[in-house]
Amino acid sequence: MLIFKLFRKDEWHDLQRDGTSAGAPIDVADGYIHFSTKEQVAETAAKHFDGAKGLYLAALETETLENDLRWEPSRGDALFPHLYRKLKLGDILWCRPLETGENGRQFPWDEM
Domain that holds residue 31: 2-104
CA 26/CA 29 separation, integer angstroms: 5
CA 62/CA 83 separation, integer angstroms: 10
The answer as to whether 62 is a domain residue is yes
Judge whether residue 99 has pLDDT over 80. Answer: no
CA 73/CA 25 separation, integer angstroms: 20
CA 106/CA 101 separation, integer angstroms: 6
Q: How many domains does the chain have?
A: 1
The answer as to whether 111 is a domain residue is no
In sequence order, what are the beta bridge partners of 20?
88
Query: What pLDDT, in 10s, does the model give residues 68-98?
Result: 999 999 888 899 999 999 999 999 999 999 8
CATH number at residue 13: 3.20.170.20
The answer as to whether 112 is a domain residue is no
Judge whether residue 112 has pLDDT over 50. Answer: no
Q: Are 95 and 7 in contact (CB under 8 A)?
A: yes
Whole-model pTM over 0.85: yes
Query: What pLDDT, in 10s, does the model give residues 12-65?
Result: 999 999 999 999 999 999 999 999 999 999 999 989 998 888 999 999 999 999
